[in-house]
Chains A and B, each alone.
Chain A
Amino acid sequence: MRDAVTAIAADHAPDRSHGSERLRLIWHNIFPFVVVGAIWEIIAWTGIFPRRLFPTLEDVATAFVNLTITGILPHHAIETVIRLLTGFALAAIVGVTIGVLMGRSRRAEDIFLPLVSIGAPIPGLAYAPLFLLWFGLGNLSSVLLVGFVSAFPIIFNSWTGVKAVKEIWVRSAQAMGANDHRLFRHVILPGALPYILTGLRLGLAQAWRILVAVEMLAAVPWGLGWLIFGARKFLNTDIMMAGIVVIALIGIALEKLVFQKIENYTVVRWGMISS
């Protein structure tokens, strides 16, 4: 707590003038977390809530380290990530295909648009009991449910993206002799890519939400969702927090190491969106 305050004060001190640009940027990014962390610590230490229910950051860190050393946390994390990526991959393939079809063909649009429009606003968890009845408890239903629910934003955005492909690109390509197949591959897909990437991002967020919830319902033995909900029984709030931190870390890793890399290599490099 005191550290945080000194740090804030330091930022406004003359120190700033010779602080390197990079450090400033890092500080800029972590500042909100430092503030929230500080407030958290204050509340934890005042004892308004019992410590079991409101652990200090040190408790959370200890739980995190212990669970990591024993290999329990990595095991949970890996199971979750595998489910997440399998379901998401399904959603990406099916979602982009349907979305692009809808954008390209009137018939496909007429068939899918009403279905997708009705299905999308329904909270993903509402489908969970059905999937569990159909596919049983366990991995299969969680993966399928993740795929199903996260496909919606991917479908919508791919469809919009294809619709937003500039007519002038299509005409130019056709004038240069592109047939339908090549038009699709060389013009429609790259032209719709900014939207498709947005759809994939939203889809992944959706996949997280539903997966963590369904891991509890589907009675899978491992998984971060299971860890978090299971910890409730014994009031292990430090473990819950550790689980949440891992989810956040995986989320950041996927965003920084996958999405931003892909984006920088494609749509940003092409000037189709600004970085």
Chain B
Amino acid sequence: MVPIEIRDVSLIYDTPGGKVPGVKDVTLNISASEFVCIVGPSGCGKSTLLNIVAGFLSPAAGEIRIGGKKVDGHGMDRGVVFQDFAQLFPWRTALGNVAFGLEMKGVPKDERERIAHEQLRLVKLEKFTASYPHHLSGGMQQRVAIARALAYNPAVLLMDEPFAALDALTRDDMQRLLADVWRETRKTVIYVTHNVSEAVYLADRVIVMTPHPGTVKAEIRIPLPRPRDPLSVEFLDFQKELLRHLGHGASASEPTKANGKTTA
């Protein structure tokens, strides 16, 4: 897998109401096969940064290198999963959605369907290959989206709050599933979330961003062994540390925690 270098990246949105900074001077080095979570207050620029790395936005200043190669537009070295369930193509079955990237790559039909089946099995949806997205629950749709982003085997996986719209229980399951998938595939992952416990559960390293306009405020390494126990003292300590960086203090009645991972 490949490393990602983000150097002095800034972006300014041009809106009718004037110029709005999106992100400011973000520098970040991510090693190959590392799982990095980005947390920060709403509106600080997490999605903006991810979209720059994905190549959907081009930065006003700075540059991004993936595997040493400068990013210029989107490319198949990166798979993207958005927060929105609506990202799946309603006119394709789960299998058709997952096979899309392979189809674009020119992989023959039999081969791509075999791989798509495989990916859907990885996210435990092998029974729903023929279903259209509107017949799947939100959590299932997000799993299809993950399978879809993995299917054409990109070196990098970019995820923007993929589980934010799910209920707490489904979310727990999905986090566990994602941790497993990552262990198997060893992609380099950038994962945006505003859920502190999710970040501690998943990440090798958590990047905390400042409020808008966002820049890197702190980096916290999470050296806990996997699979992680969200009820362990160490886990909770990291959670508290993150909350402190986010300016929430460390009180036990912290609301963010209520959304967090509470089942073992």
A positions within 8 Å CB-CB of B: 166, 168-169, 171-179, 182, 186-187, 190-191, 193, 266, 269-272
Cross-chain contact A269 with B82 (CB below 8 angstroms):
no
**A269-B132, A271-B133 given; A175·B74 CB < 8 A:** yes
Contact B78 A271 (CB under 8 A): no
Alpha-carbon distance A89/B82, docked complex (angstroms): 40
Shortest CB–CB separation between residue A269 and chain B, in angstroms? 7
Residues of A within 8 A of B146 (CB): none
Contacts of B105 in A (CB 8 A): 177
Partner of A182, one of B87, B104, B134, B148: B104
Number of A-B contacts (CB under 8 A): 71
Q: Is the CB of A168 within 8 A of B133?
A: no
Number of interface residues of B (CB under 8 A): 29
Check B249 for interface membership: any CB of A closer than 8 A. no
- Closest residue of chain A to B56, judged by CB? A171
- Taken together as a complex, chains A and B put the C-alpha atoms of A76 and B60 apart, in Å, by 67
Q: Which residues in chain B, 62-106, are within 8 Å of chain A measured between CB atoms?
A: 74-76, 78-80, 82, 84, 86-91, 100-101, 103-105
Q: Is the Cβ of A178 less than 8 Å from the Cβ of B104?
A: yes
- Asked if residues A175 and B100 are in contact (CB atoms below 8 Å), the reply is no
Interface on chain A toward B: helix, strand, loop, or mixed SS?
helix
Q: How far is the CA of A203 from the CA of B48 in the complex (A)?
A: 42
B49 within 8 A of A: no
Identify A190's interface contact among B76, B79, B89, B148, CB under 8 A.
B89
Residues of B near A179 (CB, < 8 A) are: 104
Contact B54 A168 (CB under 8 A): no
With the chains together, A174 CA to B80 CA distance in Å? 10
Contacts known (A187-B89, A272-B90); A175 close to B135, Cβ less than 8 A:
no
* Chain A contacts for B78, CB-based, 8 A: 175
B191 at the interface (CB under 8 A from A): no
B238 interface hit (Cβ, 8 Å): no
What are 22 pairs between A and B in contact, CB < 8 Å? A166-B86, A168-B82, A168-B86, A169-B86, A171-B56, A171-B80, A174-B74, A175-B74, A175-B76, A175-B78, A175-B149, A176-B100, A177-B152, A178-B104, A187-B89, A190-B91, A191-B89, A191-B91, A270-B132, A271-B90, A271-B135, A272-B90
Supply 10 further A-B pairs (C-beta < 8 A) apart from A177-B152, A191-B91: A168-B87, A169-B86, A173-B104, A174-B56, A175-B74, A176-B76, A176-B79, A178-B100, A271-B132, A271-B134
